[in-house]
Amino acid sequence: MQVKKESAAAATKKLVCVMAIYGNQALFLYFCREIINGKGEIQKRQVESFVKKEQVNEAAARIAQLRREIEEHNYRYHVLDDPVISDSEFDALMRELIELERQYPELQSEDSPTRRVGGAPLPGFATLTHKIPMLGLDNAFALEELREFDRRLRRLAGLSSIDYFCELKVDGLAVSLQYEEGLFVRGSTRGDGFTGEDITSNLRTIKQIPLRLPEAVTLEARGEVYINRADFEAMNEQRRQNGEPLFANPRNAAAGSLRQLDPRVTASRSLRIFLYGMGEHNLPLKTHAELLDYLERLRLPVNKNRALCRGIDEAWEFCLSWQDRRSELPYEIDGIVIKVNDLALQERLGNTARSPRWAIAFKYPPEEKRTKVIDIQVNVGRTGAITPVAILEPVFISGSTVQRASLHNEDIIAEKGVMIGDTVVIRKAGEIIPEVVRVLKEERTGEEKPFRMPEKCPSCGAAVHRLPGEAARRCLNPSCPAQLVERIVHFASRRAMDIEGLGPAVAELLWREGLVRSVADLYYLEVSQLAPLERLAEKSASNLVAAIEKSKGHPLHRLLFGLGIRFVGEKAARLLAEHFLTLDKLRRAEREELTAIPEIGPKIADAVYRFFREPETEELLEKLEKAGVNFSEPVAAAAAAAARTLEGKTFVFSGALERFTRDEAAELVRERGGKVASSVSRKTDYLVAGSEPGSKLARARELGVEVIDEETFIRMLQL
């Protein structure tokens, strides 16, 4: 629905009709005369202001309705897994809401679904103290340990049997969500249990978390943020294609995603949450079962695989029942949490320093499978490191088929004694990355062959070296094709120069055809050279050239990261770029200047210093510069990223503001696309009234210009 902009004339007619109906004849005639004579400026403005208020009311009602509907669909989709409208219908609702909020910035609200991903990247996280510490759990690995736990509790409680509540122990990251009068106000990590990090903006991006509860309650809910296995695999696949380091397991992926300083990154990570408990609250709840039902009623996601168990033997049954079925779940669990159901009894039992006495985690052993090592091959990475990889007879383990397992380096092969043809036990480290646990030497037939690391690089034939203090052997040939192809792939990856269409296959092709020998050569490619290549049709050849061209304008930190300087990851690249601002300054920097930057240690400094003194680097940079690749970091990248939420709106300030000077306030408006005028006119949209606003306020009232206070102004700025 579109809120119509009523013309002043139409609105005037409406008002006149209203007055006619209500019989205010004198005023009616007066208006008629004024309007006919064209002298009714002030009244007209009053009429306009009336119309504006009416439009705002209408928009406010529609906005409220859209927000309710969108949150309902979010809940159905993300929590109940039972959507009732299509994605495009949902998108249409979102678009309408975004548009209305853009037209009426004064109607923005913290709990709007449009405001899940908001705010600029943070410089760091603030710390928060947990009112009630977030404790860990004691572990048990066998039935006997569970019986011991139960005996201890029955003795302490003086009971012959205890009711337990059993839940899945989802492997993720513990968080706390604070709601005040129904509004999500703060969220934090567990941290050390006493203080955590304020990750509110990141948690807001998780669509399963309601920004407003259906009841105006104040409480702290606690739970686990996690990633589904499939989302984790897709995420790692994407990272692999982009040449980014992989996450070892879903847990690390969830933790890494939640601790992103830029909420937009978190928003892209398919994080999910289950709530399993409460911190501070004053609700009349008697059992843990009731507590979870209540959280569920508040539309918070609670895992439905849960059960009340009468006595420890029933709890054990629950543990066993999930041991084999757990691989069918879409997420990883590493055990079962068994909790005393009676909340008053929980309270009586209390906590030890580390964990509550009333709960225990039963931990499953990691799944292990036998398979055969068919071969051991080596990979050459971007830095020349040569990594041995076991090629396995395919085996299904912990949710997926495994055919390869990294053997890391020759020391690890020797330590485990792995030979080609061996039968080995494998498992997934952190439930994900396949690793060889041990060799079943008793299965040997005598046919097994020892593996030797190659003396020569399998790609270029250059001698490989093991440098002092390193476990890896490296190919040190700077023009080794395998390294070069890997370097191009890394340079083009999303977090680096973000060149779409330049993955491993294309990089390899460009090398094979002799078109690219260094990343700088990319910038000299022409469509006519690419189009005839068998894998690149005309269209994708021109797309590729366009994508390469576009990458020239990226900020310096992407280039630095893309160059693949040893030890310079994304973070170091940003620190260096933000410190030096230009590549020229950075390449001239001495080691001491580099180590003086907080968080840049001697290892990085040394690698950077040396990189810029290599003759090949000189040549490379010269070529890049000639091609017009940007070598500088924009100073106000963050400010430029601010959304233009005040586009087309004119502000006038009057009186003193508390939080800003006039100039600062004006700058904030301009950053968001708005205008600032020095005096009130009919074109003014808002007068921001500070203390003692003076004559401008009277003028604004006279013209029917909307007057807002500093609080409202701050809300509009979405600070």
Asked if 295 is part of the footprint of ligand IVH (rule: CB under 6 A), the reply reads: no
Considering only the stretches 50-58, 162-170, 310-318, 684-692, report the one whose residues sit in contact with ligand IVH under the rule CB under 6 A.
162-170
Asked if 275 is part of the footprint of ligand IVH (rule: CB under 6 A), the reply reads: no
Cβ-closest position to ligand IVH: 174
Considering only the stretches 79-87, 164-172, 491-499, 616-624, report the one whose residues sit in contact with ligand IVH under the rule CB under 6 A.
164-172
Q: Can you spell out the DSSP letters for 433-466?
A: EEEEEEE-GGG--S--B-----SB-TTT-PBEEE
Considering only the stretches 355-363, 500-508, 652-660, 667-675, report the one whose residues sit in contact with ligand IVH under the rule CB under 6 A.
355-363
Considering only the stretches 35-43, 84-92, 132-140, 324-332, report the one whose residues sit in contact with ligand IVH under the rule CB under 6 A.
132-140
Considering only the stretches 100-108, 356-364, 365-373, 388-396, report the one whose residues sit in contact with ligand IVH under the rule CB under 6 A.
356-364
Among 47, 66, 97, 137, binds ligand IVH (CB under 6 A): 137
Asked if 700 is part of the footprint of ligand IVH (rule: CB under 6 A), the reply reads: no
Least distance between ligand IVH and beta carbon 166 (Å): 9
Among 3, 153, 170, 572, binds ligand IVH (CB under 6 A): 170
Q: Give the phi and the psi of residue 402 in degrees, each rounded to 5.
A: -115, 135
CB nearer ligand IVH, residue 277 or residue 690: 277
232: tokens are 């984790």
Considering only the stretches 135-143, 199-207, 293-301, 522-530, report the one whose residues sit in contact with ligand IVH under the rule CB under 6 A.
135-143
CB nearer ligand IVH, residue 172 or residue 399: 172
Asked if 361 is part of the footprint of ligand IVH (rule: CB under 6 A), the reply reads: yes
Q: Catalytic: which of 169, 207, 649, 696?
A: 169
Inter-residue contact 652 to 674 (CB < 8 Å): no
Contacts of 544 (CB under 8 A, 6+ apart): 499, 501, 502, 506, 525, 530, 536
Burial of 629 (0-12, 13-18, 19+ CB in 10 A): buried
Dist CA 450 CA 182 (whole Å): 65
CB nearer ligand IVH, residue 273 or residue 583: 273
Least distance between ligand IVH and beta carbon 360 (Å): 10
Least distance between ligand IVH and beta carbon 341 (Å): 13
421: tokens are 């043809």
CB nearer ligand IVH, residue 101 or residue 224: 224
Inter-residue contact 492 to 507 (CB < 8 Å): yes
Nearest to 399 by CA among 327, 324, 325: 327
CA 651 to chain centre: 34
Residues 11-70 that bind ligand IVH (CB under 6 A): none
Asked if 174 is part of the footprint of ligand IVH (rule: CB under 6 A), the reply reads: yes
Dist CA 216 CA 237 (whole Å): 42
Asked if 356 is part of the footprint of ligand IVH (rule: CB under 6 A), the reply reads: yes
Among 105, 250, 277, 301, binds ligand IVH (CB under 6 A): 277
Inter-residue contact 178 to 185 (CB < 8 Å): yes
CB nearer ligand IVH, residue 349 or residue 488: 349
Residues 521-580 that bind ligand IVH (CB under 6 A): none
299: tokens are 């539309």
Dist CA 580 CA 583 (whole Å): 7
Least distance between ligand IVH and beta carbon 322 (Å): 12
CB nearer ligand IVH, residue 359 or residue 707: 359
Q: Give the phi and the psi of residue 219 in degrees, each rounded to 5.
A: -160, 165
Contacts of 449 (CB under 8 A, 6+ apart): 419, 420, 421
Site string for ligand IVH, 189-228 (x = CB under 6 A): -x---------------------------------x----
Least distance between ligand IVH and beta carbon 494 (Å): 31
Least distance between ligand IVH and beta carbon 426 (Å): 26
Least distance between ligand IVH and beta carbon 306 (Å): 8
Considering only the stretches 116-124, 169-177, 369-377, 483-491, report the one whose residues sit in contact with ligand IVH under the rule CB under 6 A.
169-177
Asked if 153 is part of the footprint of ligand IVH (rule: CB under 6 A), the reply reads: no
Least distance between ligand IVH and beta carbon 128 (Å): 16
Inter-residue contact 315 to 361 (CB < 8 Å): no
Inter-residue contact 146 to 362 (CB < 8 Å): yes
What radius of gyration do the chain's Cα atoms show?
Answer: 32
Give the count of residues interacting with ligand IVH (CB under 6 A): 15
Dist CA 346 CA 368 (whole Å): 36
Residue 169 has what DSSP assignment?
E
Helices (H), 358-480: 410-416
Least distance between ligand IVH and beta carbon 182 (Å): 24
Q: Residue type at 368? A: E
Q: Can you spell out the DSSP letters for 498-549?
A: --TT--HHHHHHHHHTTS-SSGGGGGG--HHHHTTSTT--HHHHHHHHHHHH
Dist CA 427 CA 420 (whole Å): 18
CB nearer ligand IVH, residue 71 or residue 167: 167
Decide if 169 is catalytic: yes
CB nearer ligand IVH, residue 73 or residue 251: 251
Inter-residue contact 462 to 441 (CB < 8 Å): no
Among 149, 179, 247, 276, binds ligand IVH (CB under 6 A): 276
Placement of tokens 């409480």 in the chain: 219
Least distance between ligand IVH and beta carbon 276 (Å): 4
Catalytic residues: 169
**Site residues for ligand IVH per CB under 6 A:** 135-137, 167, 169-170, 174, 190, 224, 276-277, 337, 356, 359, 361
